[in-house]
Amino acid sequence: MEFLMDPSIWAGLLTLVVLEIVLGIDNLVFIAILADKLPPKLRDKARIMGLSLALIMRLGLLSVISWMVTLTTPLFSVADFSFSGRDLILLFGGVFLLFKATMELHERLEGRTHQDEGNRGYAKFWAVVVQIVILDAVFSLDAVITAVGMVNDLPVMMTAVVIAMVVMLMASKPLTNFVNAHPTIVVLCLSFLLMIGLSLIAEGFGLHIPKGYLYAAIGFSILIELFNQIARRNFIKHQERRPMRERTAEAIMRLMGQQRAQQQTTEDVRLPADETFAEEERYMISGVLTLASRSLRSVMTPRTEISWVDCDRSRDEVRAQLLDTPHSLFPVCRDELDEVIGVVRAKDLLVALEQGEDIAEFAARTPPIVVPETMDVINLLAVLRRAKGRLVVVTNEFGVVQGLVTPLDVLEAIAGEFPDEDETPDIVADGDSWLVQGGADLHSLEQALNCQDLVSPTEDYASLAGFLLSHYGQMPAVGEVLEQNGLRFEILAASEYRIELVRISQVQPEQADPNNHHQPEAQASGFISPPNSALPPRRADVLHSPATTAETPESASAWQNNTPAAHRPDADTGNRPVRRFPPLQLPALTSDGGRA
């Protein structure tokens, strides 16, 4: 027992244990990669069995110390290169590592190993165990030779190998779980394997590569990957702060091909959208996912578009109104819309008129269902179910009627517009632009324009007119143009109190005139000045000139025929300035467009 009191024995043992563990870390990483090819229930068994066989092999190598020493004796020569047993082992090990790393990288980049667990093809148990033993033999050769050169006592060397192997067995499972949870680390380790394999081949030919080069490259790569993992973890934490509904909507939209180009990454691997979902399907799913986030104002029919019956009018006038209006339900009021008596069906009211019943008394039998404008759309669905087909009146805190809602309005929020006979579609495509009514819903407009910068949860507007008034700060005149977020809004028709028709187009890149020295001043002031008569007009001036807007397409005739001459875009309004506003800093929506 005297050897236990020798400090040099303990120093050598401790040094060897540390060296064996350090030299075995890379071995553990690649063993984790190999074990991942097996079914989950066999991975621990293969890892333990492979490392146990590797331990027996290492002890066997240590037992033949004299043979290990003779491995450096040249066996044969080829040209200027002489090869020893150690050189041949290094060459074989390097080729094996290059082959194994290349195959693993190919499989992972081709996606063969990222299939579902149920459909995944696993490797054979003993094939993986043999690969673990061979891999450990390649990595343990340098460690065994190092041990032989450092310590002369065989029991000390064997004890150090056993202790190091026990530590590796204990650390193998958590290390395996960590590696399998981070696919980028697996690819990084396989890249290290390529470097190590190349260095082994070089040493087999007698070309010594300083280990410091390898360690520096590996250390730098690990540092970069560490920063990457930290950034990824911070990103995940940031995503977890967002509402689950918003994250779910974005994920579904991404799978459906509705994700924006600037939001796509190399991780987004999917089939083309046209091969999976039709445009109508994506529109409806987007509408369903965003329904809960929409305000009641964005769904309801606004006050200005409500057709209602005044009970104080004559019977003939009421009968004519019912026959001329293609609606089946009407609120019956007294003198004004805010005095709602009841909600009746047109056919029932016609029968009551023929029978000589009093309109007010007949309407009072079906009192209106009233909800506040602060109610969300999801709770509104329950109210509509109880209404049994009747419309619901929406009021503000003062009892003033703001609009009405029917089941059709909710359906339109999901599937798009279903215009009545007396209605013109809110959004009409016209070549490279869109003709949009001022009362058009912003969520529908976002869906049509394929943008997401119009709706703001912090602003109290739901229509295009509200959006423009919020950014103009005043009622814009016909011919004025607002450019924002890559869109050009041109006022085609407006009255004194409302915006009726707007042309929306994508902003074209302006070709600046090098002879126009006033251009920087005009841009700095926020306006585009009228073109100088002595200079040829710039493209921007032609686009913004009301003379150009006089050529209104035929698709806008339905609006222009009902627009006063003074408010038409072809009226003589002169050159009006074009206001430019900085881009809005709006929070991202829950999905890419859709009706809100």
In a domain, 275, yes or no: no
Residue 514 pLDDT: 45
Q: Is the same domain home to 320 and 433?
A: no
In a domain, 359, yes or no: yes
Q: Which residues of the chain have pLDDT under 50?
A: 1, 113-119, 259-274, 511-596
DSSP codes joined into one string, 94-109: HHHHHHHHHHHHHHHH
Structural domain for 348, as ranges: 296-415
Q: Is the same domain home to 455 and 362?
A: no
Cα angle 76-79-80, degrees, rounded to a multiple of 5: 90
Q: Is the same domain home to 53 and 201?
A: yes
Q: Is the same domain home to 63 and 137?
A: yes
Which residue, 209, 242, 257, sits at the end of a domain? 209
Residue 362 pLDDT: 92
In a domain, 234, yes or no: no
**Tens digits of per-residue pLDDT, 40-49?**
777 777 777 7
CB 350 within 8 A of CB 330: no
Strand order in the sheet with 336-345: 309-310, 329-334, 336-345
Burial class (CB in 10 A: 0-12, 13-18, 19+), 80: exposed
Q: Is the same domain home to 432 and 522?
A: yes
In a domain, 13, yes or no: yes
In a domain, 566, yes or no: yes
Residue 140 pLDDT: 64
In a domain, 273, yes or no: no
CA distance 292 to 290: 6
Q: Is the same domain home to 119 and 25?
A: yes
Query: What are the two backbone dihedrals, phi and then psi, of residue 82, each rounded to the nearest 5 degrees?
Result: -110, 140
Residue 423 pLDDT: 65
Residue 417 pLDDT: 74
Residue 537 pLDDT: 33
Which residue, 191, 209, 227, sits at the end of a domain? 209
Q: Is the same domain home to 487 and 395?
A: no
CATH of the domain at 332: 3.10.580.10
Residue 216 pLDDT: 79
Q: Is the same domain home to 338 and 398?
A: yes
CATH of the domain at 506: 3.30.465.10
Closest CA to 143 of 29, 57, 35, 221: 57
The number of domains in the chain is 3
In a domain, 231, yes or no: no
Residue 20 pLDDT: 65
CB 555 within 8 A of CB 433: no
Q: Is the same domain home to 410 and 448?
A: no
Q: Is the same domain home to 122 and 158?
A: yes
3-class SS of residue 506: strand
CB 470 within 8 A of CB 482: no
Query: What are the two backbone dihedrals, phi and then psi, of residue 301, each rounded to the nearest 5 degrees?
Result: -80, 120
Which residue, 415, 438, 461, sits at the end of a domain? 415
**Tens digits of per-residue pLDDT, 232-269?**
888 888 877 777 766 776 777 666 665 443 444 444 44
Residue 49 pLDDT: 77
Residue 145 pLDDT: 57
In a domain, 260, yes or no: no
Q: Is the same domain home to 364 and 453?
A: no
Q: Is the same domain home to 490 and 365?
A: no
